[in-house]
Every structure is written in structure tokens, then in C-alpha cells.
Structure 1
């Protein structure tokens, strides 16, 4: 609530006219158990904690009205919000869409126990806002943290279309329902979860129903093996590659995915590279019903580039150069 409504809301709550929202993030099991209860019906300990909570009142004089909201956010910020987080809080109807989707996603399994990181600093809100912008714009590049499209959306607060909101919601729900997320070795950070979500959205759009099941099988292999590489362990399982794509340099691609998830991970180049790598594995393991279906032809061009005779001994920088200069990476991720 903003400053003008904060005290009025507290009055309404204590008066028993507002129920408690126990789904608010970051997830708290104590609040979750009291979801939907009115103040008089709360457990005595929680009610006492509310009664004893101190309220600090600051009087600000001589500040233009346009600057007040940002000042209030800075004064009340005890959560360590990033600049992007603050912009999300202030982003009007778009921010409201993001917050509602995050609340729903918590019920679907978007919790630290399931995806391996929490919503500290509005990490979930940031991830979902970037996915919404990418789908609305039809471009993976716009999911980068510093994209102009994202900045414009945060500044204007203009909501995305109902179609975009529904597409992202359905794909996120499907991703969070995959059995692979219950495996101890499947661990995400924000950049990797964003990449899997974007691939889920795009695959559902291009390849149709059933694509999420194959994506789940790929995730079961991919995430544990890339984490083994990150821990300087050798792979203990080969990918289930189709006969015609046995030459895929899968270990080099896993290593590059790891690096792009850690170094400049939120930038456009890293976001595009991770997306392309996941699509390479998706197609190479049989996740595409036809080679003529987009974006499979572009994926096959990347595969042919990576497997040509002079690409036998790939280093990270060689892999990047091949994909950007001779593969399809320069135009990758444009969905329209």
C-alpha cells in the first residue's frame, strides 16, 4: 500500500474488514497457515506481533509531489530492493500484473524449496516481468535486464495484453509442475530459470501440446549434468541424442551455458546464448516433430556450424565466434 492508504488499511484490517493474504512473497509458513483469516480470528501470537509492531512516522516538507513516492520507498526499504525492484514496485498496472502472477505462481510451486532461490529483492517479480516483456515484444533479447523495452514498460506501467499474460501464466504453471523439479540435482538461479521459462513458452507456441513433456525429460538430464561440470566433475550420463545429431559438442555447450549463467548473465548476449543452447539440446534429443517447424531450421544451421570439420576442438571463444559469425545466433530469438 502507498503512504496515503497505509494507515487506513491498518484500521480496516484490525476492524475485521480485510482478510490476511498468506500467499504474499517472500513465502512465510506462519502467514500461509492464516491465509484468508480476519484479524480477530488470527492465532494469539500473530495478533500480538501485529499489535506490538512499531510504526514510524516521518514528516517531509518542501518536496515536490512527483518525488514523494521514490523518497518513501527509499525511507521504508528494509528489503534491499535493487533499482529494478523499486521500479517494479512503482510500475503501475504492469507491476500489478506481475505481482498477481507471482502470487499465483507461489501456489503452483514458485518457492525456494522448489526452484532453489527465494523472492529476496523481488527476484520472482523481476524474472516474470522480463518474461512478460519478451513475449509481448516477441524477442528473447528484450528479456535482458537492461533492455530498452523492459525499461520503457517499467516506466510507463502500461499492462501487457491478456493474451501475453495468459501465455506466460500457462507456461510457468507447466514448468513448475514438471516432475524434474523434485530432483535434488535440479537447481536454478534466476538467469537459468528465466531461460527455461522462455523455452517453455516458445516450444508450446511452435511445437504444440506435448512439448512440455519432452522439455521435462531434457531438464532431468541437463541440469544435473551442467552442475557436475560446474563442480569440476565429469559427466556421468550422456545426452539421449538422435542418431543424426550425435556430433553435438554437448560438453562444450554445457560449459558455455554455465558461464553465460554467471558472467554478465542478465545481458542480451548471455540471454540469447542460453536460449539457443537449450533449443539445440531440445532439437538434438528429439523434441521437435519436424525439421521444417520454426525455429528448427535455424537450430539445424547452428548444429551444422558446430559440427563442421574445422570445429572439432572447440574452446569457449571459438564456440561463440562460430555461432555469432557463422551460425544463426545473430538473428536468434526473434519470435515474429
Structure 2
């Protein structure tokens, strides 16, 4: 067992420095900002006003964590947003909110004032406010991320979201891609759900890992590839990032997404993004237009069944695929989009059903290009099994035992 003194060896004794001195250290470089922020979330004005109010009252605002690196430089690990808000106030860009509870006469009288408009006594109280700094010596980068973020994660985050916040350069890569995609149309009004709990980041991280691994299973919960990225923080290759970025841009730009009935959940968005990336890799750019055509029918139909409204428009199947059991497949697609949605089995099954519909509606330019031959074998297994009702168990039996799902999802 590691002795306790070894576990604590990286932490020095805390020091107390006033606001004026800490901000001066940031300005002249004695204390550096990290290249990678400890949180992707920006503070609202309310957060900043509450912080400032606490400082003016002399209330505690928490410890600042600083890493002392081998070259002697010092990097601010935790406290960037607190110091940024104080710097913003001192520059005159943030006003006092004197209406915050509990009431205080001196703060009410300072409501709406800038730092320079405050009485000298209040300015001095801010300048001399004591900040507690705890310096950590030479912790490995992965341990630094966990030390800073494990207790500071947003309570709304899922476990996957929390890990993504801690995931170093990989997380930064994902956040940058999601931020760019917002300009392309990645938003609740076109997708169907918002980014609560870093939902977009979770989906895109899974797509990136699957694209680099060439495997649908890499996008499932608990996959070795996904866990490695989330822990190590290593980014995917630029080529993979660009491939996913291009697919994402084309996907969120599809005219089908302007239709109110075409909306996704996290699992279904993940599936269609995986289909998009793989189809573009197999068939080249342009296949996204047919995927959009498919979604115009499939997503409204899938949602009708989820709402127990029955079938609506007939599937636009090619003549060679008229035997496809569309109703049963859509029912099963919905089921594995709701319960255990990110399990390996559910992730693979949704992907396979997506490809069945893509090929059956004419989205594959060649029957020889992978994965079309495997899709044709799945279709043959389904049509050969039509002598019995397609219950949930029957669909799975046919596709897993008689079809090709045991080897499905590995991209050539």
C-alpha cells in the first residue's frame, strides 16, 4: 500500500496572497493560465455578481489550485473563472449588484457601480481580500485533471459527460468540433434535444473514437477505445477529426432536418452519424443526400410508432427489397434506442437496421462495396424467416444467429 505521506507529497502548504498580488502575477506571467481550461462552461453574469458580492462581504470563495512545473513555472489549475471575474470588475467591465440577499446597506448604496466608482474603503477591501493558494508539485497531467475536476464537475453531467470534461486534449478537440458545428446547425431546434449534460460532446466523442477504430463497437459504453481516450486525453488523428467534421457538417446541413417531424435522441443521432461517416468512407461524398431522403421517411415513421400512432407513409423501398419487415425493424430500432441504448448489442443492432434501410431504399451505389454484401445477407435471413411473426426475440434471433451481426460493425 502506498504510504499516506507519499500520496500527499505533491501538495505544499497553502499560502495566502491578496487579490491585487495574484492578479499582478497573472499579468506579468509569474502565474500562467493553462492552455486547456478546467471547465468548458462559461460563468453567467449572476455567477460573477455572486462571487463579487462574497468578496465585498469578506466571505470565502474557495481555494485556488496552482501547479508548480519542473521548470519552476506556476500554472493556475482551478480558479480561472473566479480570477477572471475579479479582473473584469477591476477593469470596469462588471458592475456591483447590490440587491443580492442578505440585504446590506453599503452594498445597496453601491448597486450598479464600477470598481473605480466605489468608495476607497470598498476598493481596498477587494484589493486586500485574501486568497488561499495550494500549490501542487509535478503531478502527471492525467492526475492533475482528476485532482481538479473530480469534485468540481457540473451536477447535471452524466458519468460520460464528467469523464469527457476531464479528458484533456481529446475533450478539447471534441468541444471545439461541437462549438464549430453549432454554426452549421447543431442545435436543439434542428436536432431535437439540447446540450444538457454535454449531450452533443458525448455523441461526437463516440463518433470520433469509432471512426478512428473503424468499429461501431468502439462507440458503445465501456468500450476499450472510448475509455482509453477519456482517461489518457490523447486526441484522435487530425485526419479522423476532419473526416468526422466533414460528415457532421453535411449531416446537420441536410434539408431533412428542417422538417419538424425529423428529430433525434442521443442514441439515434449517434447511429445516423456513424452511418454517415461509414457511408462516406465506403461510397464517397454525396451519399449524405440519400441519407437525408431516407430520414424524411424513417424518422417521422419511427416517432409515430414510439407514440403508438401506428404506421403512416409506406417505406420507399426498391423493388428488390419489398420483403423487408419495416414495421418490425422500426419497432426494434425504437426499443434499442430507449433501454440500454449505448450497450454494445444495442449500438450494433441500431447500426445494422440503419444500414438495412439505407441499402433497401437505394442508398448504396454498388452491391459489392462493403458493407453491402453483409446487408444483403441480413436481408436474406429476414425474408427466409417470414414464416413466423417478427417479435422482438425473433428479430434478434434472425439477425444475430442467422444473419451477420456477430461480425457486424468492423469497417473495412
| Structural mapping, 1:111-122, within 5 Å | 111-122=187-198
CA contact (8 A) 1:225 1:235 kept: yes
Q: Aligned match of 1:225 in 301, 310, 323? A: 301
- Rounded to whole Å, the distance in 1 between the matches of 2:190 and 2:395 is 33
- Gap regions ≥5 residues in structure 1: 17-37, 41-47, 52-56
Three-state SS of the structure 2 residue aligned to 1:120 is coil
Mapped to 2, the partners of 1:58 and 1:9 lie a distance apart of: 14
* Corresponding residue number in structure 2 for 1:242: 318
Structure 1 residue 76 displacement after superposition: 3.6
Q: Is residue 271 of structure 1 aligned with residue 271 of structure 2?
A: no
Q: Is the 8 A contact 2:153 2:162 kept in 1?
A: no
| Residues 183/200 of structure 1: CA separation in 2 closer, same or farther (3 Å cut) | same
Runs of at least 4 residues of structure 1 off by over 4 A? Answer: 11-16, 48-51, 57-69, 309-312
- Distance 1:238-1:330 versus aligned 2 partners, 3 A rule: same
Mapped to 1, the partners of 2:172 and 2:260 lie a distance apart of 33
Shift of 1:314: 1.2
Work out the CA distance in 1 between the residues paired with 2:255 and 2:214: 28
Q: Residue deviations 1:118-172, cap 9 Å, x none? A: 1111111111100000001000011012211101111111110011000100001
Structure 1 residues 242 and 159: alpha-carbon distance in aligned structure 2, compared to 1, 3 A threshold: same
Q: Counterpart of 1:237 in 2: which secondary structure? A: coil
- Counterpart secondary structure, 2:316: coil
Partners of 2:113 and 2:238 lie apart in 1 by: 39
- 1:183 corresponds, among 259, 279, 282, to 259
Q: Is residue 207 of structure 2 the alignment partner of residue 131 of structure 1?
A: yes
**Residue of structure 1 in register with 2:243 after alignment:** 167
Contact 1:79 1:120 in 2 (8 A): no
Tell me which residue corresponds to 1:22. Answer: none
- Which residue does 1:332 correspond to in 2? 408
Which residue of 1 is the match for residue 160 of structure 2? 84
Q: Which residue of 2 aligns with 1:93?
A: 169
Following the alignment from structure 1 to structure 2, what is the Cα–Cα distance between the partners of residues 99 and 62? 28
**Are the structure 2 counterparts of residues 199 and 61 from structure 1 closer, same or farther at C-alpha, using a change threshold of 3 Å?**
same
CA distance in 2, matches of 1:241, 1:49: 67
Residue 61 and residue 12 in structure 1: after superposition, are their counterparts in 2 closer, same or farther (change >3 A)? closer
| Structure with greater helix share of residues | 1
Judging changes above 3 Å, is the alpha-carbon distance between structure 1 residues 9 and 287 closer, same or farther for their aligned structure 2 residues? same
Alpha-carbon distance between aligned partners in 2 of 1:72 and 1:135, rounded to the nearest angstrom: 30
* Match among 246, 253, 259 for residue 329 of structure 2: 253
What is the match of residue 28 of structure 1? Answer: none
Name the structure 2 match of 1:104: 180
Which one of the candidate residues 153, 164, 177 is aligned to 2:229? 153
Greater share of residues in strand: 2
Tell me by how many angstroms 1:316 deviates: 1.1
Runs of at least 5 residues in structure 2 that lack an aligned partner in the other structure: 1-36, 39-77, 95-111, 116-129
CA distance 1:50–1:234, shift in 2 (3 Å): farther
CA distance in 2, matches of 1:257, 1:205: 24
Taking the aligned partners of 2:81 and 2:358, their CA distance within structure 1 comes to: 49
Q: Of the two, which has the highest radius of gyration?
A: 2
Distance 1:131 1:311 in 2: 37
Shift of residue 232, structure 1, vs aligned partner: 1.2
CA contact (8 A) 2:385 2:398 kept: no
What aligned pairs does 1:280-295 form with structure 2 within 5 A after superposition?
Answer: 280-295=356-371
Structure 1 range deviating more: 276-285 or 105-114: 105-114
Moved more, 279-288 or 231-240: 231-240
Count of matched residue positions in the alignment of Structure 1 and Structure 2: 305
Local SS of the residue matching 2:362:
coil
Map of 2:219 onto structure 1: 143
CA distance in 1, matches of 2:185, 2:146: 32
